[in-house]
Structures are given as C-alpha cells and as structure tokens.
Amino acid sequence: LFLEAWRALGSTRLALRSTPFKQLVAGLTLHREPVEAAVVGPEALEQARRIGWAVRAATGYTPWRSSCLVQVLAAKTLLARQHIPWVVHFGARPGQQGDLNAHAWLSVGPDIIVGRRGHRAFGIVATYASVTATGQAL
C-alpha cells in the first residue's frame, strides 16, 4: 500500500503540473457549502485509514513537494479504486500579508484521512464528494 501511495503521489503531482485543475475535477459536482460524507462500514473506514496512513507516510519519501492538494488527490484516487466514498474539502484563510492561504483535506465518514493538521483554521470554500450522506452519487 505504501508503494501504491508513493506512485499515486507521483502521478498526481505530474497531473497537477501538466493538466488544468478544471480537467482534473471534471465530472465532479462542486458544492459551495460543506457536504456530509456518506456513512461507511467499519471495514471500509479501516481501509480508508490505512490508505491515509500510506499517503502520509509516503509523502516523507518523495523527492518532490507533496502538498496537501497532492496528498488529497492521491488518497482520493486510492479510495475510489476501493469504492470507498470520500469528501474533499478546500479551505482558505487570509494570510499575514494580505494574501490568501489555502488548504485541502479529505474525509471518509467521520474521519479526516489526509490533511487534518490545521484544517480548522480554514473556512471551507468548496467541497467535492464521491457520494453524499443521502447516497446521491456525484
């Protein structure tokens, strides 16, 4: 799983450098307000936690910078392969010099799998979800 996560980080980093973001999220519905994640069973939640661990661990061994966005999109890809529903949150906050700081995190059920550190300091500006709490596929 660690090697799979490492490869997903690399392919995600390459995709972000070579593909417009709009193309990367094509086919997903953008929500301007938070969306509750679909309820998942204990086995799926445990697998999601393992995937989150693998992505976070592999990040420390990449020769490139694996930002929160790279980690989130890599984890999303691995979760989708396992048919585990996910929610990606994009947040923003004012920076110290009038700029804007951004952060991304990914949740499965009640857990934040990737990007937990500091996420509460960011207001959610956009959300993408594979399946909502109502079971609506996106």
Can you give the pLDDT at residue 138? 40
Can you give the pLDDT at residue 23? 81
Can you give the pLDDT at residue 30? 73
Averaged pLDDT score across all residues of the chain: 88
Can you give the pLDDT at residue 38? 78
Segments of the chain scoring below 50 in pLDDT: 134, 137-138
For residue 123, the cross-strand partners are 92
Q: Please count the other Cβ atoms lying within 10 Å of the Cβ belonging to residue 49.
A: 14
Can you give the pLDDT at residue 128? 87
Whole-Å CA distances, 36 to 19, 53, 55, 57, 58: 28, 22, 23, 27, 28
pTM of the entire predicted model: 0.87
Can you give the pLDDT at residue 21? 78
